[in-house]
Amino acid sequence: MATIMLALQNEKDCQLIESELSGDYSVKQARGKESCEEEMDLVVFDLPTFKQCQETCEARIEEEKPLFLPVLLLVKRGKEEAVSQYLGVTIDDILSTPLKKVELRARIQSLLRTRRFSLKYRDEMKEKTLTDPLTGLYNRRYFEEFIGKEAERAKRYGHPVAFCMMDMNNFKDVNDRYSHMVGDEVLKEISKLLKTNIRESDVLIRYGGDEFLLVMPETNGESTTVVERISQKLEKWNEVTELIDHPLGIAIGHSHWLPGEDKSVGEALEEADKNMYRDKERKG
């Protein structure tokens, strides 16, 4: 639900807007300039409050960029021209008073629609920066943002976290022998194979070129089962794939981190990485 902040000196206008919009939106009354720091999707001023809070409002709008934070100014009918210099700079729309309910709702809906588009665009752009364009998996940047929050959650509830580092054996040979285009298709299929054989709560990351990291919250010894299942599924994939004509192997190393133990999350990750290289050496 969108949040509308009312910074109005006119109590009648404030009551009318609350009565008209509170069923569809979260409507709050500003308590002063400090309210500009609160979460909101649109702010409504009248001229006296706008003049008091203009600089604070402009600073908040600047902080929100590239998001669009709409500002609506209420002015007495016939006085619109006197505030036109603000339009398109700090103010996004002007509404004349006494207010007409239909016009009020139409203007609010229009401004909030643009706000939603802005939020959607931001989320899409963020998603692109946190996912790998080839495989669609999360990337290393996402992991760096995610792992701190997951570690805190694990500490709060006393849950273990398991890590699986995975690396395709001799994947360079696939690129050299079949081309990088085929190599990309192999990576996409392997990513899909891994994704379909983990729990919904697990987080799969493309950690490097042909290296993957699987984070399994609330998992300890069960990670062994996941490793076995992935190995078995890869064997079956090798039997049916038409992309390459020789088996593709995978080296897997796993480790566990328990909140409260001496080992840090970074050390647990390093342990999984070392175990993966041991598995790679063992398999040749």
Six token digits for residue 267 = 């050390």
The residues pairing with 216 across neighbouring beta strands, listed in sequence order, are 162
Give the pTM: 0.63
The residues pairing with 249 across neighbouring beta strands, listed in sequence order, are 169
**CA distances, 66 to each of 61, 62, 212 (Å):** 9, 8, 33
Q: What is the pLDDT of residue 65?
A: 83
Q: What is the pLDDT of residue 81?
A: 80
Angstrom distance (rounded) from CA 252 to CA 259: 23
Map out the domains of the chain with their CATH numbers: 3-128 (3.40.50.2300), 140-283 (3.30.70.270)
pLDDT tens over the chain, length 284 residues: 899 999 999 889 999 999 999 889 999 988 877 877 888 999 999 988 988 888 888 888 888 888 899 999 999 888 778 778 888 888 999 999 999 999 999 999 999 999 999 888 887 777 778 899 999 999 999 999 899 889 998 888 889 999 999 999 989 899 999 999 999 999 999 999 999 999 888 999 999 899 999 999 987 667 788 888 898 999 999 999 999 988 899 999 989 998 888 889 999 999 999 999 999 888 76
Q: What is the pLDDT of residue 218?
A: 86
Amino acid at 239: E
Angstrom distance (rounded) from CA 250 to CA 228: 11
Instruction: Report the SS3 class of residue 200.
Output: coil
Q: What is the pLDDT of residue 221?
A: 65
Q: What is the pLDDT of residue 78?
A: 80
Angstrom distance (rounded) from CA 108 to CA 112: 6
**Which of the 8 DSSP states describes residue 238?**
H
